[in-house]
Amino acid sequence: MAMNQTIVLQPYEATWPRDDPDAGFRQMVAEYSRLDPLPTLEVLSRSKGIPVGALARFVLTRYGTSGSDALLEMGPRVVQQMDELVQKAELAGTDEARLKAFRALKAIISWLKVPLEDPNSRRGGP
C-alpha cells in the first residue's frame, strides 16, 4: 500500500493564555519543534538500511499509539482509579487533598512497579 504524503516539519511558534489547559503540551511542542529530527533519522536510515520515510512513519505511529498501548498494559480500571484520585483532589482544590492524591498515586505506581523490579513477584508460591 503506497502512500505518498508530504508533511512539512515546521517549528511551532505561538503564544497562549496562562490558563490554557494545554499550556504544558504547547510549550513542549514549541521546544522540541526547534530541533531538526532529520539528521538522527538519516543516520539511523543508513545504519539499518530502512528508508527515512519509513522511520518517520514508525516514530509518529509509535508515539501516537503510546497512550493506547499504556492503557492496554495497565488496564482501564487502574487508569480510572488514578483519574478519580486526581479529579477528587482538584474538586477539593486544597493542597491537603492534592497531597493525599499524590500519596495514593505513589502507592499505585509502587504496586505497578513490583513486577518490573522483581520479575518473580507474580509467580505462585513454592
70-92 pLDDT per residue, tens: 778 888 888 899 999 999 999 99
Whether residue 95 lies inside any domain: the answer is yes
Regions in the chain scoring below 50 on pLDDT? 125-126
Q: Which residues contact 118 (CB under 8 A, 6 or more apart)?
A: none
For 11-51, where are the alpha helices, taking DSSP H only? 23-32, 38-48
Dist. CA 69–CA 34, nearest whole Å: 28
31 and 45 co-located in one domain: yes
The per-residue pLDDT for 2 is: 66
Shared-domain flag, residues 64 and 37: yes
pTM for this predicted structure:
0.59
Residue with cell 502507592: 107
Flag whether 49 is in a domain.
Answer: yes
- Domain residues for 49? 8-14+21-73
How far is 23 from 76, CA to CA, in rounded Å? Answer: 26
Q: Do 42 and 65 fall into the same domain? A: yes
